[in-house]
Amino acid sequence: MSKNLIIVESPAKSKTIGRFLGKNYEVMASNGHVRDLPKSQMGFDAEHDFEPKYITIRGKGELLASLRKEVKKADKIYLATDPDREGEAISWHLVSALNLDPKKTSRITFNEITKNAVKQSLKESRDIDMDLVNAQQARRVLDRMVGYSISPLLWAKVKRGLSAGRVQSVALRIIADREREIDEFIPKEFWTIEADFSVDSTKKMLTAKYYGKDGKDELDSEEEAKKVVKELNGATYTVEEIKKGERTKKAPLPFTTSTLQQECAKVLNFPTRKTMQIAQQLYEGVTVKGHGTIGLITYLRTDSTRISDEADAACKEYILNNHGKDFVTDKEQKKTSGKNIQDAHEAIRPTYVDITPAQVKDSLSRDQYRLYQLIWKRFVASRMSAAVYDTVSVKIEANGHHFTSSGSSLKFQGFLAVYQDGEDKAETNPVLTKLKENEKLKLNELKSEQHFTQPPAHFTEASLVKALEELGIGRPSTYAPTITTIISRRYVTKEKKNIFMTELGEVVNKIMVEEFPGIVDVNFTATMEALLDDVADGNVEWKTVIRNFYPDLKEAVDKAEETLEKVEIHDEETDIVCEECGRNMVIKYGPHGKFLACPGFPECKNTKPYFEKIGVKCPKCGGEIVIKRTKKGRPYYGCENYPECDVMTWQRPSGEKCPKCGNLLVHKGNKLACSDDKCGYVSDKA
Give the catalytic positions in this structure.
Answer: 299
List of residues 6+ apart from 353 with CB closer than 8 A: 311, 314, 315, 318, 376, 379, 380
List of residues 6+ apart from 23 with CB closer than 8 A: none
Please tell me the number of Cα atoms within 13 Å of 4 on its side-chain side.
15
Residue 394, beta-bridge partner list? 242, 405
CA-CA-CA-CA torsion sign (362, 365, 367, 373): negative
**How far is it, in rounded angstroms, from Cα 347 to Cα 452?**
41
Residue 32 DSSP one-character state: S
Q: Which amino acid, one-letter code, is at 673?
A: A
Q: What number of residues does the chain have? A: 686
Q: Are 149 and 486 in contact (CB under 8 A)?
A: no
For 495, phi and psi rounded to 5 degrees?
Answer: -120, 115
CA-CA-CA-CA torsion sign (197, 198, 201, 204): positive
Q: Which amino acid, one-letter code, is at 289?
A: K
Q: Is 299 exposed, middle or buried (0-12, 13-18, 19+ CB in 10 A)?
A: buried
CA 563 to chain centre: 35
Q: Are 459 and 501 in contact (CB under 8 A)?
A: no
Residue 102 DSSP one-character state: G
Please tell me the number of Cα atoms within 13 Å of 672 on its side-chain side.
16
Q: Which helix (H) or strand (E) holds 317?
A: helix 309-322
Q: Are 614 and 626 in contact (CB under 8 A)?
A: yes
**How far is it, in rounded angstroms, from Cα 444 to Cα 441?**
9
Q: In Å, what is the CA distance from 489 to each residue of 152, 475, 590?
A: 15, 21, 11
**How far is it, in rounded angstroms, from Cα 580 to Cα 561?**
42
CA 232 to chain centre: 48
* Helix/strand/coil (H/E/C) assignment for every residue in 214-256: CCECCECCHHHHHHHHHHHCCCCEEEEEEEEEEEEECCCCCEC
Q: Are 142 and 546 in contact (CB under 8 A)?
A: yes
Is 118 in a helix, a strand, or coil? Answer: helix
Q: Are 424 and 416 in contact (CB under 8 A)?
A: yes
Output the CA angle 646-647-649, nearest 5 degrees.
125
Residue 599 DSSP one-character state: T
**How far is it, in rounded angstroms, from Cα 366 to Cα 538?**
43
**How far is it, in rounded angstroms, from Cα 258 to Cα 477?**
9
**How far is it, in rounded angstroms, from Cα 460 to Cα 495?**
10
**How far is it, in rounded angstroms, from Cα 516 to Cα 527?**
16
**How far is it, in rounded angstroms, from Cα 110 to Cα 119?**
9
Q: Are 112 and 295 in contact (CB under 8 A)?
A: yes
Neighbours of 517 (CB within 10 A): 12
Q: Which amino acid, one-letter code, is at 682?
A: V
Q: Are 650 and 676 in contact (CB under 8 A)?
A: no
**How far is it, in rounded angstroms, from Cα 299 to Cα 112?**
6
